[in-house]
Amino acid sequence: MTPADLHLQVDVAHWGWSIAWFLWFVGIAGMGSVAYYFVRRSALIITIFASLTIGLLLVVSHLGRWWNLPRTLYLMVLDFDFNLGSWMLLGIATLSVHLVLTLLLLIGHLPALTRRIAWLKWTETLRAQAGYRGLFAGVGAFATVYSGFLLTQAAGIPLWNTSLIPILWVVSGSIAAIAVIELLYVLGLVDANVSAAGVRIGMVLDGVKLLAVLGFLHVALSYGSAGARYGAILMTQGDLALMLWGGVIGIGILVPLAIGAYTLLREKRKSLLAVSAVCALSGVFFLRAAVLLAGTFEPLVL
């Protein structure tokens, strides 16, 4: 039976596609920063910087009163009044720090720039510093975790009120980072040995992601409130079923798993790796979009 008082958050709060893309880009940039600790390639830091910038532009463009953002920040600083209990504020701070750390690394990867502007030369040493890379990885991982808790803290949407979401975001963000490295390998920007490790780790993470997605749905369907259950039904049998079964699980998990198995057992083909990486990245996006769009307010009347 469909409750009488049923409203999707996307119709009321308008957290739609732009937020789904934002979560996707933050996942790539966040867990990409963890990958950068091990894979210090220019192409990777450029990807992280681009993802973070596009993600931030998307989220700012989504603000209903984006033109008022400077004043809100000014008043916050003027009164020294920070709502540290808000995950969104923690996220804004984290993403700002992440962007600065990324920019410094990016500058260090651009010799043409550091040759022209001598005082920027010190940035070239940053990538060699394990401490800086560790900080960068930590901030990136926290940014990914934040993007999960951003949903978890939204008390009006019971489907999201589970700590499985930050876990799902970290696992799928890691898959996205590995997929980016695979694509860079296909393009000749990363060594073959890095790619080989990525295939194995990616397959393990695909398995974990599959379990986590099914666990998330099981908890919502079996033990969730009416709003959580309805959201999960939307994902498993309703308007979002194609996105879940086809996009998240079929394209996003099973295809990369099959290609990974073929690569390990038979041969490594760049064309297949490219398909696997694109599928994995698509699956990560579909997961965020499906969870976001399935968000439903708790019905007050059944």
Chain residues that interact with another protein, rule: CB under 8 A:
4-5, 7, 9, 11-15, 62-66, 68-69, 71-73, 75-76, 78-79, 81-83, 85-89, 91-92, 153-157, 295, 297-298, 300-301
Of 8 and 232, nearer to another protein (C-beta) is 8
Of 68 and 125, nearer to another protein (C-beta) is 68
Of 38 and 74, nearer to another protein (C-beta) is 74
Q: How far is the CB of 70 from another protein (least distance, A)?
A: 9
Q: How far is the CB of 293 from another protein (least distance, A)?
A: 13
Q: How far is the CB of 153 from another protein (least distance, A)?
A: 6
Q: How far is the CB of 150 from another protein (least distance, A)?
A: 8
Of 38 and 66, nearer to another protein (C-beta) is 66
Of 118 and 301, nearer to another protein (C-beta) is 301
Distance CA 283, CA 13 (A): 25
Q: Which long-range contacts (CB under 8 A, 24 or more apart) does 35-40 make?
A: 35/177, 35/178, 35/180, 35/181, 36/105, 36/133, 36/136, 36/137, 36/140, 37/133, 37/134, 37/136, 37/137, 38/194, 39/181, 39/190, 39/194, 40/127, 40/133
Q: How far is the CB of 8 from another protein (least distance, A)?
A: 9
Q: How far is the CB of 263 from another protein (least distance, A)?
A: 41
Of 20 and 186, nearer to another protein (C-beta) is 20
- Residue 226 burial by Cβ neighbours in a 10 Å radius (0-12, 13-18, 19+): middle
Q: How far is the CB of 91 from another protein (least distance, A)?
A: 8
Of 206 and 298, nearer to another protein (C-beta) is 298
